[in-house]
Amino acid sequence: MTHDDVLLALNETAVSQELQTIAHKVLQNQRITTQDCLLLYEQGELAFVGALADFVRFQKNENIVFFNKNIHIEPTNICIHNCTFCSYSKKKGDPLCWEMSIDEMLAIITKIPEHAITEVHIVGGVHPDRGIDFYCDLLTAIKNIRPSIQIKAFTAVEIDFMAKKSGFFVSEILQKLKDAGLQTMPGGGAEIFDESLRKIICPTKTSSERWLKIHETAHKTGIPTNATMLYGHIEKFEHRVDHLNRLRNLQDKTNGFQAFIPLKYKKENNYLGIEHEVPWSEDLRNFAISRIFLDNFKNIKAYWPMLGKELSQMTLEFGVNDFDGTINDSTKIYSMAGAEDTHPTLTEEQMVALIHAVGRKAIERDSVYNIIQTH
């Protein structure tokens, strides 16, 4: 949407004076406040926030939608933590637990033709017996068999454990991993930063303060990272605003976040006991408001295995300009939590068609957003 389109839409929508003031700020590329953001969550109708988000999206990325070709490897689902929303982690000895050896993980990569992927995304549970040496060996072995592959790996929660287990500082752990081949870090483990909610949904996990510190240290070490927010569980709008604000503040300081990825809470097979997931209209509003508020993030990413292909396609009209990858069926975090697509895969052609269908240019990128191919 252009500036004029949005103004036209605004005139045709009966919105309050306060919302109009926020809209004018956005259209003049001014930063909105946390109070503005809360008002958008409380009162902003889907069409209204969608129009503003589309304006911001176009300002930052024109008509480009990025995607990358990757696979996910989940080394283990054995985890020392007990997050109540998690449908995936198991304790040692549970019949549903798994732990892959380095050779097993290498075999997954070897099976995939060289040109088919540019990135491997590695995230798993926090295994009590696996520390920095194991993960450095893993990265080194991957680089030995596929030197050109880019490695996005380990949430701040896994990094935190590697540091505590070994006695090294976080900065030392990150440097060792970088030397072994780590290029970027994913955004998991952020959940929702409000400390009182963390006590309920992830009581033993890395604190918000430490999550942010680990990302800050990664940025200083030259490792770009992503940020996520788990929404649609027990949080209120004010907690989402607080979460986004802490991310925006850190990004002002480091500019090291590449993308923001809202993660929709899925309710199956976990102990949180939420009866209903939020409706798709709330997913779209949340994408849009995040796009408007996070004025210092270039990319808002939709993780399609969680949302499904159709809803992910719709997010493109609500601020999203980035799709997480062409993924094989090894992603279990969401299939175990009730995502409809239990074997999420999209070929390159399907991904491109999905993007072209909404009139955008599809660009294959690498892990640090260099352009590989335009479609």
Binding site for ligand V47 (CB under 6 A): 85-87, 186-189, 191, 226, 228, 230, 261, 263, 265-266, 270, 303, 324, 333, 337
The span from the first CA to the last CA of the chain, in angstroms, equals 22
Could you say which of ligand SF4, ligand V47, none residue 186 binds, taking C-beta under 5 to 8 angstroms by partner kind?
Answer: ligand V47
CB proximity list for 187: less than 8 A, separation 6 or greater: 155, 225, 226, 227, 228, 257, 259, 260, 261
Please report how close the Cβ of residue 99 comes to ligand SF4 at its closest, in angstroms. 13
Under the binding rule (CB under 6 A), the answer on residue 22 touching ligand SF4 is no
Under the binding rule (CB under 6 A), the answer on residue 334 touching ligand SF4 is no
Please report how close the Cβ of residue 111 comes to ligand V47 at its closest, in angstroms. 22
Under the binding rule (CB under 6 A), the answer on residue 81 touching ligand SF4 is yes
Please report how close the Cβ of residue 157 comes to ligand SF4 at its closest, in angstroms. 5
Please report how close the Cβ of residue 42 comes to ligand SF4 at its closest, in angstroms. 29
Under the binding rule (CB under 6 A), the answer on residue 19 touching ligand SF4 is no
Task: Decide: helix, strand or coil at residue 272.
Answer: coil
Cβ closest to ligand V47, residue 289 vs residue 306: 306
Supply φ then ψ for residue 101, to 5 degrees. Answer: -80, 170
H-only helix segments in the chain: 3-12, 17-27, 34-43, 46-61, 102-111, 132-145, 156-166, 170-180, 195-201, 208-220, 237-254, 280-293, 304-307, 309-315, 348-356
Could you say which of ligand SF4, ligand V47, none residue 89 binds, taking C-beta under 5 to 8 angstroms by partner kind?
Answer: ligand SF4
CA 332/CA 219 separation, integer angstroms: 28
Please report how close the Cβ of residue 286 comes to ligand SF4 at its closest, in angstroms. 20
Out of 48, 55, 66, 88, the only residue in the binding site for ligand SF4 (CB under 6 A) is: 88
β partners of residue 208: none
Under the binding rule (CB under 6 A), the answer on residue 89 touching ligand SF4 is yes
* Piece of the chain touching ligand SF4 by CB under 6 A; list 65-73, 82-90, 133-141, 242-250: 82-90
Return left, alpha or beta for 111; rule: phi > 0 is left, psi -120 to 50 is alpha, else beta. Answer: alpha
Please report how close the Cβ of residue 4 comes to ligand V47 at its closest, in angstroms. 35
Residue 68 vs residues 84, 121, 175, 260, 318: alpha-carbon distances, Å: 31, 11, 25, 15, 20
Out of 51, 71, 73, 79, the only residue in the binding site for ligand SF4 (CB under 6 A) is: 79
Could you say which of ligand SF4, ligand V47, none residue 51 binds, taking C-beta under 5 to 8 angstroms by partner kind?
Answer: none
Under the binding rule (CB under 6 A), the answer on residue 90 touching ligand SF4 is no
Please report how close the Cβ of residue 144 comes to ligand V47 at its closest, in angstroms. 24
Please report how close the Cβ of residue 358 comes to ligand V47 at its closest, in angstroms. 21
CA 338/CA 174 separation, integer angstroms: 33
Binding to ligand SF4 (CB under 6 A) within 147-186 occurs at 157
Count Cα atoms within 13 angstroms, Cβ side, for 259. Answer: 28
Tokens in use for 18? Answer: 């306060």
Cβ closest to ligand SF4, residue 146 vs residue 205: 205
What's the CA dihedral at 218, 221, 224, 225 to 10 degrees?
-10
Under the binding rule (CB under 6 A), the answer on residue 226 touching ligand SF4 is no
Residues that bind ligand SF4 (CB under 6 A): 79, 81, 83, 86, 88-89, 125-126, 157, 202, 205
